[in-house]
Amino acid sequence: MNIQTIHRDDPDSFFYNLRFMLIVCVLVGNALEPIITRFAGAETLFLWIYTFHMPLFVWVTGYFARHTLQGESGKRVLQHIAIQYVLFQSLYALMDFTVFHTPHMRLSFFAPYLLLWFLASHFCWRLLLRVTLSWKPIYRLIGSIILGIIAGYLPVDGFWLSFCRTFVFLPFFIIGYDYGTAIRSHIKSNWSRYVAALFSVGVLILIGVGGIPLSPGWLLGSMTYAELGHSEWYAGIYRLGMYGVQFGSAALFLAWVPTLTSRITEMGRRTLYVFLLHGFLVRLVIWSGVYNYMESSLYIPVIIAIAVLFAVMLAHPVVRHTFRPLIEPNLSRFTFHRQEVSKRSA
């Protein structure tokens, strides 16, 4: 299969291409995490990916929220997110209980299971954006950055309903919603893209040689400053600096994204399935103990190749056809039934 075969141009192709490339980065990052303390190369690649992939994933999610934020479509999206969260939170907990026999396992909808933090935060981002729609975009952006900084000072559990990540990544959602189209219009296929791509590689190299000191805790955005070991009054400056690193690295990575419609674009339309299902595969691979046999950094390319293969496999139309009733249930039937019940009761 030639995933680079170009068919036609489309205004949203860039964003679908980006979305698939980012879901590949998600899989690669998750697959590398078990060995980042053993191999410097794995840690460098892991940190580089985390400087841009979640900010951009939130950014592209904000972009696609433009036409489904309000009205009936907005309500349906919120319903789908809530259903997906409850369902997969239960399924992942069930897997931990039956397959992995995780000790002291208990189901809680207030502590998102690993990757499901994104669903909880996505739900909140949409609500927060709807509340501030009357604001000017620049005020919305400034306000979101201030909230992202202030949230780290609060004496709460950062993991609780993805509290910290909701506010830390909120600015990227706002940028995607308000400025996604404008940013896309400035991305041209010229020499400046090649320069930006080289600078993106330069960031990777700088991280590898220690030129950019980074901590996974700060990049994940899931903990308060106190939980990160920084109770100082100026801890918010670190968050502001991290925003600078993430904004810069994310902007440079955009140079790698193709703009034309291709097979990648079609797979980019089905990243929801890759996102929600890949956790089962990653958890099973880790549980199998295969990482215990990796005694050399030469396994890193193998891990990356397998992660890409998983992404392509889970983005296949057959997977969508099979799991669509589970992941994207038809809520119109429920709505119709509810309306009929209301009429009868009246």
Question: What residues does 6 pair with on adjacent strands?
Answer: 262
Residue found under tokens 């994940």: 220
Residues 6+ apart with CB under 8 A from 144: 167, 170, 171, 173, 174
Q: Angle at CA 105, nearest 5°, toward 101 and 111?
A: 135
Burial 248-274 (b: 16+ CB within 10 A, else e): ebbbbbbbebbbbbbbbbbbbebbbbb
The pLDDT score that the predictor gives to residue 334 is 52
CA distances from 24 to 34, 260, 267 (A): 17, 19, 11
pLDDT value of position 185: 87
Mean pLDDT by 10 residues, the chain (346 residues): 49 94 97 95 96 97 94 94 95 88 76 92 97 96 97 90 95 97 86 93 94 90 94 94 96 94 95 96 92 93 96 97 91 53 42
* Per-residue pLDDT at 340: 44
| Residue 72, C-beta contacts closer than 8 angstroms, at least 6 positions apart | none
Whole-model pTM over 0.85: yes
- Paired with 262 in beta bridges are 6
Determine the Cα–Cα distance for residues 261 and 9; give it in Å rounded to an integer.
5
Strands (E), the chain: none
Tell me the CA distances in angstroms from 288 to 45, 105, 159, 213, 292, one per residue in order: 24, 20, 27, 33, 9
pLDDT at 19: 97
In this structure, are residues 119 and 112 in contact, taking their beta carbons and an 8 Å threshold?
yes
Q: Report, in angstroms and rounded to the nearest whole number, the Rg of the chain calculated over CA atoms.
A: 21
Among 217, 224, 240, which Cα is nearest to 151's? 224
Measured in residues, the chain has a length of: 346
Query: To which H or E segment does residue 16 belong?
Result: helix 13-32
